[in-house]
Amino acid sequence: MSLTNEIIQQKLTEKFGEQLSHWEQTYGMLTFIAEKDINVKVLQFLFDDEELKFRFLTDLQAVHYPDNKGAELAVVYHLHNLVDNVRIRFKVFTDIAKPDVFTATSLYASANFMERETYDFYGINFVGHPNLIRILNVDEMDYFPLRKEFPLEDQTRVDKDDDMFGR
């Protein structure tokens, strides 16, 4: 395998500098955080660069961190370089009050449904998406169910002592 995580990190730092941060290698996968406004630029650079060639969008989803004030929602991209068989992951954080992130549909046709799903569950507004409507939930739903403020179990239950047995 010629393309190592170090080379990828070096090339990305050269191009974007301080805009990328929090470099990590979790379970062998290079992970970093990009500034919100440059997500498509990072994707495009990773796609176009002759050495990097990350041309397969494996997965796209969001995570909600309610305690992370001002940057509650994270959009996570998993990319795959099929030639050298390297995967990377990067995230962009956005404010829950104004969850606007640029769409990746211009680059990847596969992002269409994945962004709709992310919108459906987290309410992230993908700017420029051709058809950003709910996909798995009913159209009439007026909230975003995977956000952490919607607990799965009824929180008014008193018969269950969460200190002892809860999760």
- Minimum Å gap between C-beta 19 and another protein is 21
Residue 22: exposure state from Cβ atoms within 10 A (0-12, 13-18, ≥19): exposed
Between 1 and 158, name the residue whose CB sits nearer to another protein: 1
Between 97 and 138, name the residue whose CB sits nearer to another protein: 138
Residues that bind another protein (CB under 8 A): 26-27, 29, 31, 55-59, 61, 63-64, 76, 78, 82, 85, 87, 89, 108-110, 112-114, 117, 121, 134-138, 145-146, 150, 152-153, 165, 167
- Minimum Å gap between C-beta 16 and another protein is 22
Between 29 and 127, name the residue whose CB sits nearer to another protein: 29
Compute the residue count for the chain. 167
CA distance 100 to 124: 6
- Minimum Å gap between C-beta 24 and another protein is 9
**Residues near 117 by beta carbon (within 8 Å), at least 6 away in sequence:** 61, 135, 136
Whole-number Cα distances in Å, 87 to 25, 33, 97, 134: 11, 15, 31, 29
